[in-house]
């Protein structure tokens, strides 16, 4: 190989080395530029996201601020309305105070005249109190007389009832005597008058109830009469039925004084018995059991 060839070969080698170096430099530069571009894109996306977030936060903050401003405005309006109401109430109070002051002044002007009238009324009250004391004294006397008259009337009522009972007893005795006398005139055997209260049940079984009673005369009306075989002088047993046998009670005996077809009048034959009541049972005999 000639010298020129060697020199050319050396220059070609140098050129190849320089070209290879440039190619490597270009490749590295391109690789670094792509990576930087990607990183820049990522930073840009992050910046966009931050921008959107900041914009949303700014929007929310603006809404909250507007809501707070609106609430404050409403509070202001309410306070202004309350202030206006208080001012109006204060004005009315001042007007009422002036009216009351005028009324007090007017009342003070009439106190002197009212005081004189009150003195006149006081003297009239004293006179009325004296009359009341006198009337109370008269009232006490009248009450005493009234109590005396009530006592006398009560005693008279008691005497009247006692006389009525005695007359009824005498009438019953007279009827018995008249019956005995009639039997004697007709040739029958005269019977001795039955002792009041002695048992004299009717021959047939008779059952009824007490319809009415008169506490004053001690007489009762029963629901059976001559249609059931009752006659004057018969006696019936009186009892009260309860819900259980232990609550039932025997009340004594009544004597028939007068009879009608479906009703009879009777009275207890003994005193001190339990008081009779409407719907108490009466019967010629008390059946035990069954």
pLDDT reported for residue 192? 41
pLDDT reported for residue 191? 44
Q: What residues have CB less than 8 Å from 179, skipping those under 6 apart?
A: 191
What is the percentage of the chain residues whose pLDDT exceeds 70?
80
Q: How confident is the model at residue 122 (pLDDT cuts 50, 70, 90)?
A: confident
Residue 251 belongs to domain with CATH number: 2.40.10.340
- Comparing 50-59, 245-254, 270-279, the range with the smallest average pLDDT is 270-279
Query: Does some domain include residue 34?
Result: no
Report the chain's mean pLDDT, rounded to a whole number: 81
Please compute the mean of the pLDDT values over residues 275-285 and round it to a whole number.
91
Query: Does some domain include residue 53?
Result: no
pLDDT reported for residue 222? 96
Query: Does some domain include residue 14?
Result: no
Q: What would the pLDDT profile of 59-85 be if each residue is shown by its tens digit?
A: 998 899 999 999 999 999 999 999 999
Q: What residues have CB less than 8 Å from 191, skipping those under 6 apart?
A: 179, 180, 183
- The domain total for the chain is 1
The CA-to-CA distance between both ends of the chain, in Å, stands at 167
Query: Does some domain include residue 201?
Result: yes
| Residue 58 CB burial class (10 angstroms; 0-12, 13-18, ≥19) | exposed
pLDDT reported for residue 187? 59
Say yes or no to pLDDT of 217 above 90: no
pLDDT reported for residue 157? 56
Say yes or no to pLDDT of 2 above 60: yes
Q: What would the pLDDT profile of 131-187 be if each residue is shown by its tens digit?
A: 888 888 888 888 888 767 765 665 555 556 555 655 665 565 566 666 666 666 665
Domain that holds residue 221: 196-283
Please compute the mean of the pLDDT values over residues 116-124 and round it to a whole number.
81
pLDDT reported for residue 49? 87
Query: Does some domain include residue 60?
Result: no
Q: What residues have CB less than 8 Å from 237, skipping those under 6 apart?
A: 201, 250, 252, 253, 282, 283, 284, 285, 286
Query: Does some domain include residue 85?
Result: no
């Amino acid at each position: 190989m000639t010298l020129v060839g060697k020199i050319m070969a050396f220059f070609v080698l140098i050129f190849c080395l320089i070209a290879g170096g440039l190619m490597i430099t270009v490749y590295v530069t391109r690789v670094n530029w792509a990576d930087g571009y990607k990183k820049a894109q990522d930073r840009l996306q992050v910046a966009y996201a931050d921008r959107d977030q900041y914009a949303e936060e700014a929007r929310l903050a603006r809404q909250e601020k507007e809501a707070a401003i609106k609430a404050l405005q409403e509070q202001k309006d309410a306070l202004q309305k309350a202030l206006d109401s208080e001012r109006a109430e204060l004005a009315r109070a001042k007007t009422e105070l002036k009216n009351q002051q005028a009324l007090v002044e007017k009342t003070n002007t009439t106190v002197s005249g009212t005081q004189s009238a009150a003195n006149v009324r006081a003297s009239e009250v004293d006179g009325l109190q004296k009359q009341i004391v006198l009337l109370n004294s008269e009232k006490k006397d009248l009450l005493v007389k009234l109590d005396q008259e009530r006592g006398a009337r009560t005693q008279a009522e008691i005497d009247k009832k006692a006389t009525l009972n005695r007359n009824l007893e005498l009438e019953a005795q007279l009827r018995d005597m008249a019956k005995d006398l009639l039997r004697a005139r007709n040739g029958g055997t005269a019977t001795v008058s039955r002792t009041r209260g002695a048992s004299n049940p009717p021959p047939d079984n008779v059952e009824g109830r007490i319809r009415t009673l008169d506490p004053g005369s001690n007489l009762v009306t029963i629901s059976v009469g001559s249609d059931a075989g009752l006659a004057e002088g018969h006696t019936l047993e009186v009892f009260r039925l309860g819900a259980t046998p232990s609550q039932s009670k025997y009340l004594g005996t009544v004597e028939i004084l007068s009879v009608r077809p479906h009703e009879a009048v009777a009275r207890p034959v003994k005193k001190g018995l339990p008081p009779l009541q409407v719907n108490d049972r009466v019967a010629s005999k008390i059946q035990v059991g069954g």
